[in-house]
Each structure stands twice: as C-alpha cells, then as structure tokens.
Chains A and B, each alone.
Chain A
Amino acid sequence: MNPAPASTETEITVSEAVTFPDGIPGFESCRSWVVMAAEEATPLRRLHAIDGPEASFLAIDPRAVLDNYRCDLSASDRRRLGAGDTDPLLWLAIVMVEATGALTVNLRAPIVINPKTMTGQQVLPHNCLYPLRHVLVDAE
C-alpha cells in the first residue's frame, strides 16, 4: 500500500468510483471515474474512466492555478450533484497537451465532484470569464 499523501485542511480525497450521470462532453458513455493523486506531484490528480472508451486525464485544483479562482454553481448543478450550500466539493480543471506541446488547463468548464454522494459532472457555466485553455507551460 502506498502511504497516504500529506493532507491539507482543504484536501478532499476521493478513492472510490465517482458516478458522472451524463459522462463528460466527448466521453458521454464514461459514467464511472476514479480520481487518484498523481504520485509525481501533489496538486495534480489523475482522472481515469473505468468504463466506456479509454480516457485518462491530468487535472488540477483550479485554485492551485489562480488563487482567486471562483466559479458559482447554479442551483440546478448543485441539485444534480446532490450538494447542499455548504457541502465541500472537489474542483478539478482538466490539463491539456496542445499540438504545439504547450500545457494548458481548462478553467472555463471545471469538473466538480461531491464526495458525499460520489457524483460528479463537468459544469459549463454560462457566464464564466476564465479561459478554456489557460497556458500553464509554454511549448517546448
């Protein structure tokens, strides 16, 4: 067994399968995902589909990218996650490898997981000013 990663106050660990009732855009049939700590680096998580087509992403807490990142969930998004107003939620922004080799992160449409219900979805907020491809690392 691997030692548990050092946890911080805000860290939420999801070790079992998380259900995404609608999958995510492009991977609609991937309903079951696991979130793992990417052992190489702590703020990074690995998001891996355990059903449907092969899908494995690196993802990062958007607040580790932008300190003041803030994205409001709509009441219906909250309801879909079975989340009350004060329930802690796990936020993950998907990391992309661009054709140029640059690494970008999708801050526009984050993945939100409610650890209490083990339900997740990718939210597509209507009024989100964050970029879809925020550059993390320039092309090599």
Chain B
Amino acid sequence: MIGDGVEVRVLRVGKDGVRLGIVAPPEVRVHRREVYDQIRDANQSAVVSAGKLAQVAERLTKAK
C-alpha cells in the first residue's frame, strides 16, 4: 500500500518481466512515467509565441 488507498499488485511474473497493477481511488491519476513524459515533451514543443500564432494559423488554413 502507498498512503491511503493506493495499492500495487503484482499481476504476473514471467520470464520477460513483471506485470504490475496499480489500484487507486478515482481522484488519483495513475500514468506510466514514460507516457506522461511523452505528453509533456509534446506540450512543451507546442508553445507558440504570440507573434508566431498568426503565421501557424495561416499555414494551417492554407493546408485545408
């Protein structure tokens, strides 16, 4: 158990690795670190300066 209500379960132990399950209350978000990191990197590359927004929007509109 981790704190209140978060539980780590070993679902399967195989030759290739261990499969873990996380049981958590609905208000706790559970994500694999690498998935979270991928989304974070994508978000960080999405920031567009105010000046460039119009330019990006124009390219998108033209491509339609």
Contacts and interface: CB of A to CB of B under 8 A. Distances in A.
B63 A136 contact: yes
A57 B48 contact: yes
Contacts of A58: 46, 48, 53, 56-57, 60
Contact of B45 (A38, A54, A98): A98
Contact of A103 (B26, B49, B59): B59
Interface stretch (A4-12, A74-82, A83-91, A112-120): A74-82
A44 B37 CA distance: 26
Interface size bracket, A side: 35 or more
Nearest to B62: A137
A108 B39 CA distance: 9
Contacts, number: 97
Interface of B (DSSP majority class) = helix
Interface stretch (B4-12, B13-21, B27-35): B27-35
Nearest to B57: A40
A96 B54 CA distance: 14
Interface of A: 22, 24-27, 38, 40-41, 44, 46, 54-58, 60, 75-76, 79-80, 94-99, 103, 106, 108-109, 122, 124, 132-133, 136-137
